[in-house]
Amino acid sequence: MANTILVGAQWGDEGKGKIIDVLTESADVVVRYAGGNNAGHTVIVNGRKSVLHLIPSGILRKNKLCVIGNGVVCDPLGLVHEMEGLAKHGIKVTPKNFVLSETAHVVLPYHRELDSQREVIKGKNKIGTTKRGIGPAYGDKAARVGLRIADLVDSAKLKEKLSARIKENNIVLKSLGAKPLSFKKVFAEYDKAGRFLKPFVQNTVVLLHHAIRRGEDILFEGAQGTFLDIDHGTYPFVTSSNTTAGGACTGSGVPPHRMDRVVGVMKAYTTRVGEGPLPTENQEISDLLHGMGREFGATTGRARRCGWFDSVATRHATMVNGIDDLAVTNLDGLDTVETIKVCIAYRHGKKRYDYVPNDAAILAQCEPVYAEFEGWRTPTDKCKSWKQLPPKARAYLKAIAELTGAKLYIASVGPGREQTIFV
Ligand code: IMP
C-alpha cells in the first residue's frame, strides 16, 4: 500500500473511519497524528458499530500496530475508557498492538473547564467546540506549559508539574466564574491512568522509523477535516491542530519524502458540526438526511448542518493536502434526490471565487454558484461494483472527482466494509 496519509477534504465527519478501516487491511501500522478525543470515527464490522475517539480504527483488525503520535493531545481518562470498552467487545489492546507517544500532550480537567467557560463567554460568537479541552491543551503546548505523556507516567513528575498547573489554572477558572479544581482528586485519577498506560508508552518516532526500515506500510489516520485546520481552515471556527496532510509529518516525526500518497475522503454532499461558514448549507437536504436518521455527530450527538457538495472547497483541499486519490462516501444519502446541486464557484458581490477566501466573514457572505445533476433515484446501497451503480450516479461521481481535481478511487454506498466500491 506504501505510506499513505488519509485526510478529510471537507469539515470533518467525511466517513474517514470506514475508509481507514478498509485501507488498514493492507497496512502494517496505523498512526493518529493530530487532534484528540474530539474525533469520533465510526466503523461497522459484521453489523456491530464501534466509535473510536483516540485509538486508530486499525485496532479492529488483527496484527496491526496502532500508534498515537506526538501530534495528538490525549485525554488519558478517555483513552483508558476506550480501551476498556474495546476489551468488553473482545478486542484486546496490548502493548503489542497499541503504542502511545511519550511526547503526546495530556488533556487535563482544567483544559475541559476552560474550553467550556470560553464558549460561554463568547456567547453567540462561540465556536461550537466539542468541549473536550482540545484548544486549551494545544494552547498549553504552544505556550510550553503542557504536560506530556512522559510526565503522566512518572508519579513524581506528575505531582510536581500538575500541582503548579492547577494552582495557576484555578486562578483563571475562578476569574471566569468556574469552580477551582482539587489537586488531590485530579492527581489521584490521572496518576492511576498513568500507571495503567505506562506499558504502552514509547518513543514512537524511533519505532516508526524502524518500521519504515523494515519496509512496512504505514497509514496515517487524519482526524477532523481540511477546513477545521488551525492554519488552513475557516479560522477561528476551526480546531486547534493541523488536520491537513502536513500535520502527518509533524505529528508523527516521519518526514515528507517518506510519504507516498494522500487519500482525500469526502462525502457526496457537505456537512459541518459547530459554528462557522458553510456556503452550501441547505435546509431541504438537512431535513432529508436527518429524516433518514443520518448526520448526527459521533462524539457529541449534535445534528450536523448539511448542504450540497462544494467543489470549491474540495478543490482547495486537493491543493492544500496534495490529494492523489479520492474516496467519496455516503453516495446512498442522495439516492432519493431528484435534482442534485453542486457548487462550482462562490459569488461575493461582483467578485467570483474559485478558491476558499481566508476571511471567514467573507466566506459566510458568499453565494454558491450551482451546477445541476439529475438524480438517479434508485437505491445504491447494495451495489457491489462500479458497473452496478446507476449510470447517473457514475456520472455524478465522475463530475465531482473531476471538479475536485483528483482521481476517483473509492465510492462508498453504506457504512459496512462490504459497501465499498473500488473504482
Ligand atoms: P474542538 O476541536 O472541540 O475545539 O472544536 C472546534 C470545531 O471543530 C467545532 O466546530 C467542532 O464541532 C469541530 N470538530 C472537532 N472535532 C470534530 C470532528 O471530529 N468532526 C467534525 N467536527 C469536529
CA distances from 118 to 129, 133, 331 (A): 10, 11, 37
Tell which atom from ligand 1 comes closest to the C-alpha of 275. 10
Atom of ligand 1 nearest to the CA of 274: 10
pLDDT tens digits, one per residue of 120-136: 999 999 999 999 999 99
CA distance 137 to 151: 15
Q: Which three cell numbers stand for residue 231?
A: 492554519
Q: Residue 411 corresponds to which cell in the numbers above?
A: 465510492
pLDDT for 300: 80
Chain segment 281-314, per-residue pLDDT in tens: 999 999 999 999 999 987 788 899 999 999 999 9
CATH placement of domain 4-102+200-262: 3.40.440.10
For residue 43, what pLDDT is reported? 78
Cell numbers for 151? 510526565
| Ligand 1 atom 15 nearest Cα | 38
- How would residue 107 be classed by pLDDT, with cut points 50, 70 and 90? very high
pLDDT of 411 > 90? The answer is: yes
- Taking residues 374-401, report their average pLDDT: 97
- Pocket residues: Cβ below 6 A from ligand 1: 12-13, 38-40, 127-130, 132, 134-135, 223-224, 228, 237, 239-240, 273-274
Query: How is residue 104 written as a grid cell?
Result: 503526546
| DSSP states of 151-205 | HHT-HHHHHHHHHHHHHHHHHHHHHTTPPPPPHHHHHHHHHHHHHHHGGGEE-HH
Q: How far is the CA of 77 from the centre of ligand 1 (A)?
A: 19
| pLDDT score, position 44 | 77
Question: What positions carry a catalytic annotation?
Answer: 13, 41
Distance between Cα 33 and ligand 1 center (Å): 16
192-227 tens-digit pLDDT: 999 999 999 999 999 999 999 999 999 999 999 999
| Closest residue by CA, ligand 1 atom 19 | 39
* Distance between CA atoms of residues 118 and 96, nearest Å: 40
Q: How far apart are CA 264 and CA 323, in angstroms?
A: 6
- Coil, strand or helix: which one is 97? coil
What CATH number matches the domain at 105-197, 3.30.70.3340, 2.60.40.10, 1.10.300.10, 1.10.1420.10?
Answer: 1.10.300.10
Strand partners, 246: none
Q: Is 269 exposed, middle or buried (0-12, 13-18, 19+ CB in 10 A)?
A: buried
Query: In whole angstroms, what is the distance from residue 83 CA to residue 70 CA?
Result: 19
Going by pLDDT thresholds of 50, 70 and 90, the confidence category of residue 47 is confident
203 beta partners: none
Q: What's the number of CA atoms in the CB half-sphere (13 Å) around residue 167? A: 7
State the helix-helix crossing angle for 311-321 and 391-404, rounded to 10 degrees.
50
Residue with CA nearest ligand 1 atom 21? 12
Higher pLDDT, 51 or 390: 390
Percent of the chain at pLDDT above 70?
100
Distances (CA, A) of 336 to 43, 268, 280, 388: 24, 13, 19, 17
Query: Rounded to the nearest whole angstrom, what is the distance from the C-alpha of residue 179 to the centroid of ligand 1?
Result: 25
Distance between Cα 154 and ligand 1 center (Å): 31
Tens digits of residue pLDDT in 177-190: 899 999 999 999 99
Q: Which protein residue's CA is at the shortest distance from atom 11 of ligand 1?
A: 129
Q: Model confidence at 1, in pLDDT bands (50, 70, 90)?
A: low
Domains of the chain, residue spans: 4-102+200-262, 105-197, 265-422
Ligand 1 centroid from CA 100, angstroms: 22
Atom nearest to 38 CA in ligand 1: 16
Ligand 1: residue whose CA is nearest its atom 5: 129
Cis peptide preceding 76, ω within 30 of 0: no
Of the given ranges (18-27, 132-141, 384-393), which has the lowest mean pLDDT? 18-27
What does the pLDDT average to over 145-167?
A: 98
Distance 224 CA to ligand 1 centre (A): 7
6 secondary structure, DSSP code? E
The stretch 77-105 carries a mean pLDDT of 95
Return the sign of the alpha-carbon dihedral for residues 241, 319, 273, 14: negative
Q: Nearest residue CA, atom 12 of ligand 1? A: 274
Residue 333, classified by CB atoms within 10 Å of its CB into exposed (0-12), middle (13-18) or buried (19+), is buried
Task: Among 116, 117, 239, 281, say which to mutate for ligand 1: greatest number of ligand atoms within 8 Å of CB.
Answer: 239
Size (the chain), residues: 423
- Across the chain, mean pLDDT equals 96
Assess if CATH 3.90.170.10 describes domain 265-422.
yes
